[in-house]
Structure 1
C-alpha cells in the first residue's frame, strides 16, 4: 500500500513549572539551533568542493580521481562514504555540544537535498543556499520518547533529548489531536521532524507517515469543479450539484481583519517613531499573520470537502472548468480577485487529489 506523508505544526511547552529550568532549556535550544546553522553551511560547502575537485585545474593529475571510498575503488580518494565525510566533520566540531542524532538527521536531509539539486548547482542554474540562523532543529522520529495522553486526551506529554515537553493545541479544529492519539496507539509513524523557535515559542513540525487508503474510484465518473466568484467551489458529478462555501462566509472575517489593520495604520499618523515601530512589529504583523492563517485554513477546508465528495461519488477524474472565464471575471473585479486566493485553493485541491488517487485536469 502506498505511503502517505503529511506535516502538522504543533505548539509545545516545556513541561515544568521551574522558571530556571525553562530558561536553561530555551538557552539550550537556541544554542542547538545556532550549531545547526553553522553545520548546514559546512555540509553544503564540503559536498560542493568535493564535486568541483576535477575543475580545480591547478591540482596535480593524481588529485583528479574518484569521489569514492578507497576501499571500494583504488582510484578513490575518500576514507569513507561521501555522506559520512560530512558527518565526521560535524562530529569533530560539535560532538558534546549537541546530540549527534540531530547532526545525523541534518546531514542526511541536506545531503539528499544537495544530490537532488546537484546538476542545477554545477550548471549554475541554482546557487548554493545560504542558511540562516532561524532554521529548524531536525530530529529522528525515534528520538521522541514516552508519548502519553493526559487530561482527557487534550494534552500530550513526551520526552525529546531528555527534555520534557507537552503539547498546546488550544482550540484545535484540525486533526492534530486525532493524529497524536493514533501515534500513541502506533497506528501511524513519526518520521524525521524538526523543532522551530519563533518569538519565544516552540513548535514541532511533525512529519507523519501512514498508509494511503485505496479508494474505489470509477474511471467513467468525472467530477467538474468550477472556482467561481459566487462560491469558492461549485462541484457537479453527474446530476448532482454541490456548492462548497460562499462569498459572505469567506470574506466576512477576512475583511474584518483588513479593517482592523487599516484602523491601526491610520492611527500611526499621530504616533512618534518608536510607538509606530512597536505597533507595526506587534499588532499589525500579528493581524496580517492571522489573515494568512485564516485564508490558508479555509482553503484547506474547502479543498478537503471537494475531494471527500469526489471520493464519496467514486469520481476518478476531477476537471477544473471555466478557469479562463473565472480569471476574466476576477480581473474586472479587483476587490474579489485580491481577496479570494484562487492560486492557493487550486494548489491544495491538486495536492489532496493526488493523495486520493484522483487525476486533476485544468481546462
Structure 2
C-alpha cells in the first residue's frame, strides 16, 4: 500500500499540578530551542563549507580532495560520512545540554534539506538561509513514551524525554482525536515530529504515516455541490443534504481583518509621509497577507470536508452546480 504523511498541529499541556515542575519544563524547552537555533545554523555552515571546497580551484592538488569517507574512498578527506560530520560537531558542543536524539533528528532533517538545495547554492541562484530563534524542536517518533488515552479518548497522555504532557484538542479536534486514537491502537505511525513554542504555549507538529486505503466508489452515485450565501457549500447526495461551514463562521474573522485595514488607512490621513509608508509596509501589508492566508485556510478545510462527504457516500462523481448566489 502507498504510504502517506500528514501533519497536525496539536496543543499540549504539561501533565502536572506542580507549578515548579511546569516552570522548569517550560524553561528547559526554551533552552533546548535556543540550542537548536544555534545548532541549525552550524549544520548548514559546515555543509556549505564542505561543498564549497570543491569550488575552490585556487587550492593545490594536494589539498583538493573528494568529500567522502576515507574508509570507503582512498581519496576521501573525511574521517566519517558527511551526515555524521555535522553530528560530531553537535555532540562535541551540546552533549549533556540537550538530548542527542533531538540533535540527531535536527541533523537528519537539515542535511536532507541542504542536499536538495545544494545545486542552487553552488550555482549562486540561492543564498545560504539562516534560522531564527523560533525554530521548532525536532524529536523522533520513538521518543514518545507511555502513550495512553483517558476520558474515553478525549485526552491523550504521554511522556517526551521524561516530561509529562497531555493533549488539548478542543471542540473542533475530531480529526486529530481520530489520528491519536489510531496511533494508540498502532494503526498509524508517528514519524519525526517537532515541538513549537509560542508565547508560553506548547504545540506538537505531529507527522503521521498512514497507509492509503482503497476507497470503493459507486459510479452511479453523484454528489452535487453548490455555493450559497448562508452556507459556503451545500452538498446533495441522493436524498441526503449536507452543509459545510456557515456564513457567520466564515465571515466574522475576515470582516474583522478588513475593518482593521480600514481603520489603519483612515489613521494614515493624520500622519506624515514617512509614518504612512511605515504603517503601509508593516501593519497594513501584514493584515492583507493575514486575510489571504485565512481565506486559503478556509478553502482547504471546506474542500477536505467536501471530499470526506463524497467518500462517506461512495460518490464517484462531484458536480459544481447552481452558482447564481456566488459572490
1:161-194 deviation line (CA, Å, top 9, x unaligned): 0111111112234311111111111111100000
Deviation at 1:305, TM superposition (A): 3.4
Q: Which residue of 1 aligns with 2:65?
A: 65
Q: Secondary structure at the match of 2:42?
A: helix
1:240-274 deviation line (CA, Å, top 9, x unaligned): 998965883564433564487579979x99xxxxx
Matches within 5 A, 1:1-363: 1-216=1-216, 232=232, 245=244, 248=247, 251-254=250-253, 257-258=256-257, 261=260, 295=295, 298-308=298-308, 310-311=310-311, 312-315=314-317
1:222-252 deviation line (CA, Å, top 9, x unaligned): 9997889997558899x99989658835644
The alignment's TM-score, normalised by the length of structure 2, stands at 0.79
Task: Return the alpha-carbon distance in structure 2 between the equivalents of residues 62 and 219 of structure 1.
Answer: 69
Q: Which residue of 2 aligns with 1:284?
A: none
Q: Which residue of 2 aligns with 1:278?
A: none
Task: Return the alpha-carbon distance in structure 2 between the equivalents of residues 220 and 117 of structure 1.
Answer: 47
Deviation at 1:18, TM superposition (A): 1.3
Kept in 2, the 8 Å contact 1:244–1:305? The answer is no
Task: Return the alpha-carbon distance in structure 2 between the equivalents of residues 157 and 288 of structure 1.
Answer: 39
Task: Return the alpha-carbon distance in structure 2 between the equivalents of residues 260 and 39 of structure 1.
Answer: 42
Q: Secondary structure at the match of 1:62?
A: coil
Task: Return the alpha-carbon distance in structure 1 between the equivalents of residues 93 and 204 of structure 2.
Answer: 26
Instruction: List gaps (5 residues or longer) in structure 1.
Output: 270-286, 331-335, 337-363
Task: Return the alpha-carbon distance in structure 1 between the equivalents of residues 178 and 19 of structure 2.
Answer: 31
1:112-138 deviation line (CA, Å, top 9, x unaligned): 001111111111222211100000000
Deviation at 1:19, TM superposition (A): 1.2
Kept in 2, the 8 Å contact 1:234–1:241? The answer is no
Q: Which residue of 2 aligns with 1:354?
A: none
Moved more, 157-166 or 215-224: 215-224
Q: Cα 1:231–1:149, aligned 2, differ >3 Å: closer, same or farther?
A: closer
1:280-309 deviation line (CA, Å, top 9, x unaligned): xxxxxxx99997897566434420233235
Moved more, 298-307 or 104-113: 298-307
Kept in 2, the 8 Å contact 1:224–1:320? The answer is yes
Kept in 1, the 8 Å contact 2:169–2:177? The answer is yes
Q: Which residue of 1 aligns with 2:276?
A: none
Larger relative contact order (Cα-Cα within 8 Å, sequence gap ≥ 6): 2
Deviation at 1:314, TM superposition (A): 2.1
Higher helix proportion (structure 1 or 2): 1
Task: Return the alpha-carbon distance in structure 2 between the equivalents of residues 149 and 231 of structure 1.
Answer: 35
The alignment's TM-score, normalised by the length of structure 1, stands at 0.71
Q: Cα 1:255–1:58, aligned 2, differ >3 Å: closer, same or farther?
A: closer
What is the RMSD computed on CA atoms of the aligned residues? 4.0
Kept in 2, the 8 Å contact 1:261–1:288? The answer is no
Instruction: List gaps (5 residues or longer) in structure 2.
Output: 269-286
Q: Secondary structure at the match of 1:314?
A: strand
Aligned residue-pair number = 307
Q: Which residue of 1 aligns with 2:277?
A: none
